Amino acid sequence: MKDLIEAYIIEVGRQLPSQGREDVQKEIRSLLEDALEDRSRESGQAVDDAMKVAVLKEFGAPDQVAANYGAVNYLVGPKLYPAFLQVAKIVLPIIAVLALIGMGIRLGQLGQPGYAAGGLVKMLEIGWEAILGLGTSVIQVFGTLALIFAILERTLPRVEQKDEKTWDPHTLEKVEGPDQVGFGEPVFEIVIGLLLLAFLNLYARYLGAGYNAEGGWVLGFADQNGWVMLPALTEQFFRFVPLMNVAILAEIGLNLVLLRKRAWTPATRWLNIGIHVLRIGIVVAMLVGPSLLALDAQMLIDSGGFTAETVEVVMNLLSQMLRWVLIVVIILSGVEIAKTVWRLLRK
């Protein structure tokens, strides 16, 4: 059986910022050990689980203790903070990688026909523009994440008792059970789903490459003023968007149910299998169907910003990246289906 004291300290730490977390956990451990020692000496009995439960109830629920070590008024509270941090750690590096790829392509164009002459000044200019663009993107994405989590903080159901007298330390033992659902993972998947919905329905059509009369190029969401825009995705891709919306909304709904129930049931497991089967079907159709990339090699060459050799490398790279992303989605969904079926059979 999991030690209740250690489980309690871990649960409090999960809801604290990383800075100062270890010091707070050491302080709480010391206080709990002193309290147990005093109670054991007064009662003349050895420390047991019943004594640990009594001491932990006096200390209060983990989220209350965590709140006592932080600000009372917060945009993202201690319960959602671990999920917020997890999403930020995944999304922000992706933005940085995309910015570096775009900068690398622009640097590779220096000195090519149709592009401004290269040189140290031009390289510094491209680097500075990339840094500014990265900073703007990070601020926008971070603000969007904060807004989403602030909304979730105020709309998600309160799933734990806040009364110290009714909080049961034995619930700490259930966190790692196969049917038990923590708080962070469903919230993480809800946020990722909302971001995907926003991208597919609001921004995907504006994703592409743009060039101007001076031979300048930009990847991503190019400004339409003075730029010729080449879309990155074909209409074939957008035919799948309604089905992708259904799958994403179903998964968001499933995670909302899990947040309320805090446990898997046979019904939710079968729903999870259905969602992943639908996802695999969509991705397989994407793989075997017409190309999803709308960027045309000849148009890139005719624009004067790329040589034929560069276009071939870029197009092959983009095609392989997209293909492998789809294959990874199939593999991950297949693994999730297998795990879910196994848990159903064990029941």
Residues 66 and 80 in one domain: no
Residues 69 and 127 in one domain: no
Tally of domains in the chain: 2
Q: What is the pLDDT of residue 72?
A: 44
pLDDT surpasses 90 at 244: yes
Residues 184 and 227 in one domain: yes
Q: What is the pLDDT of residue 175?
A: 47
Q: Which among 320, 326, 335, 316 has a CA at the least distance from the CA of 288?
A: 326
Q: Which of 57, 73, 89 is the last residue of a domain?
A: 73
Residues 307 and 338 in one domain: yes
Question: 50 is in which domain, residue-wise?
Answer: 1-73
Residues 114 and 134 in one domain: yes
Mean pLDDT of the chain, nearest integer:
76
Question: Which residues partner with 209 through β-bridges?
Answer: 219, 230
Q: What is the pLDDT of residue 62?
A: 82
Residues 272 and 233 in one domain: yes
Residues 86 and 114 in one domain: yes
Q: How confident is the model at residue 282 (pLDDT cuts 50, 70, 90)?
A: very high
Angle CA(93)–CA(96)–CA(102) in degrees, nearest 5?
Answer: 145
List CB contacts of 334: < 8 A, sequence separation 6 or more: 276, 280
Name the least confident of 12-26, 63-77, 191-205.
63-77
Q: Which of 58, 73, 88 is the last residue of a domain?
A: 73
The DSSP call for residue 202 is I
Residues 203 and 215 in one domain: yes
Q: Which of 44, 73, 102 is the last residue of a domain?
A: 73
Q: How confident is the model at residue 71 (pLDDT cuts 50, 70, 90)?
A: very low
Residues 194 and 157 in one domain: yes
List CB contacts of 226: < 8 A, sequence separation 6 or more: 212, 213
pLDDT surpasses 90 at 172: no
Residues 125 and 265 in one domain: yes
Q: Are 224 and 205 in contact (CB under 8 A)?
A: no
Cβ density class 132-141: b for 16+ within 10 Å, e for less: ebbeebbeeb
Q: Are 340 and 275 in contact (CB under 8 A)?
A: no
pLDDT surpasses 80 at 296: no
Q: Which among 20, 21, 23, 26 has a CA at the least distance from the CA of 6?
A: 26
pLDDT digit string, tens, across residues 101-128: 666 666 665 555 444 445 566 667 767 7
Q: Give the torsion sign (CA, 165, 166, 170, 173).
A: negative
Residues 133 and 159 in one domain: yes
Q: Which residue has the higher pLDDT, 170 or 131?
A: 131
pLDDT digit string, tens, across residues 255-274: 888 877 778 888 899 999 99
pLDDT digit string, tens, across residues 138-167: 787 778 778 877 777 777 655 444 444 566
